[in-house]
Amino acid sequence: MGNSKLYKGSLNTIILKLLEEQGKMYGYEITQKVKNLSKGELNITEGALYPALHKLEADGLLDVEVEKVDNRLRKYYKLTEKGEKETVNRLAELEEFIRSMQNLVNPNWSIE
Amino acid sequence: MGNSKLYKGSLNTIILKLLEEQGKMYGYEITQKVKNLSKGELNITEGALYPALHKLEADGLLDVEVEKVDNRLRKYYKLTEKGEKETVNRLAELEEFIRSMQNLVNPNWSIE
DNA sequence: TTCTTATACATAAGAAAATTATGTATATTT
DNA sequence: AAATATACATAATTTTCTTATGTATAAGAA
């Protein structure tokens, strides 16, 4: 688990960013993608992910489309137009936040 | 305020890091320092800060020392020995977390 | 062939960690 | 004199997780 508790607040933005990149993804796929990209550092729990997806959908940022693969259900999510706009803003905010955190924690780091 | 809600989970580590750097600080000073270092990006609210300081003290990571300056109370906090050890660990965790977040959000960034 | 692990969804109970609101008090600036 | 800054604190509420639990199918291991 490690620092799993540390990503509070940024889960939504991570979801949006991945969907922007990948076009469409289903929940389980997102958990695996994040795990792989972070080399096991970040583990999104289902209890956090599914409610987050439902809320983003309710807020009109995501569209959902159900598919059946190998007799198993998959709910593919993709950004709505509103979602695309929001993603730009939230990503900018998150990047700014990361820079600020870096500057606090390790001013020697530089980003290029 | 901006993305003030984004630093969830890392407030304790920020406090520890600053105390490691500065030797001793009082609560209000910490809020101002963080605000300055982040150019106004990060605003620690008092409702978050004071309970956090009290908990770190209760956990034996901080020592407190009261001073009166200009007829006003100041509670100076500094790391205990236990606190110094913990700071090393938590900072390493936070740095690792920041790297992971960066890698997710903007793999093009590089840290040097 | 049975058991475990992986895939895939979901929700409820509880905990953690903030925000917001409120309170006290003194010092400084307008 | 009033407003802002300094300095602490806590209670109520909200947000956002974790943990636990549930359903169901597929694949791989024993």
The encoded tokens of residue B86 equal 């913990």
Three-class SS of residue B3?
coil
In Å, how far is A99's CA from the nearest CA of chain B? 9
The encoded tokens of residue A76 equal 């593919």
The encoded tokens of residue A71 equal 């007799």
> Residue B1's pLDDT is what?
33
First-to-final CA distance of chain B = 30
Non-local (6+) Cβ contacts of B104 within 8 A are A14, A17, A18, A34, A37, A38, A42
> Residue B73's pLDDT is what?
93
Q: Where are the domains of chain B?
A: 4-105
Look up the CATH number of domain A4-101: 1.10.10.10
Residue B21 touches partner A, C-beta closer than 8 Å = no
The encoded tokens of residue A2 equal 């490690």
Which ranges of chain B does DSSP label H, i.e. alpha helix? Answer: 11-22, 27-37, 46-58, 81-105
The Å distance, CA of B62 to C1' of D7, is: 19
CB pairs under 8 A between A and B: 101
Q: Residue B26: left (phi > 0), alpha (psi -120 to 50), or beta?
A: beta
Between chains, do B109 and A110 touch, taking CB under 8 Å as contact? no
A3 is near strand D: CB distance < 7 Å: no
Three-class SS of residue A43?
coil
Three-class SS of residue A69?
strand
First-to-final CA distance of chain A = 30
Residue A13 touches partner B, C-beta closer than 8 Å = yes
Mean pLDDT (10-residue bins), chain B, 112 residues: 55 96 97 93 93 97 96 96 96 90 83 63
Residues of A in contact with B105 (CB under 8 A): 13-14, 17, 91, 94-95, 98
Protein residue ranges contacting nucleic strand C, Cβ under 7 Å:
A 5, 8, 26-29, 32, 46-47, 50-51, 53-54, 69-70, 72-75; B 1, 4-5, 7-12, 43-48, 51-52, 70-72
Q: What is the CATH architecture of B4-105? A: Orthogonal Bundle (1.10)
> Residue A41's pLDDT is what?
86
> Residue A107's pLDDT is what?
82
Find out whether A84 and A20 touch, Cβ atoms under 8 Å.
yes
The Å distance, CA of A10 to C1' of D16, is: 10
Mean pLDDT (10-residue bins), chain A, 112 residues: 57 96 97 93 93 96 96 96 96 90 83 64
B72-79: strand order across its sheet: B24-26, B72-79, B62-69
> Residue A3's pLDDT is what?
45
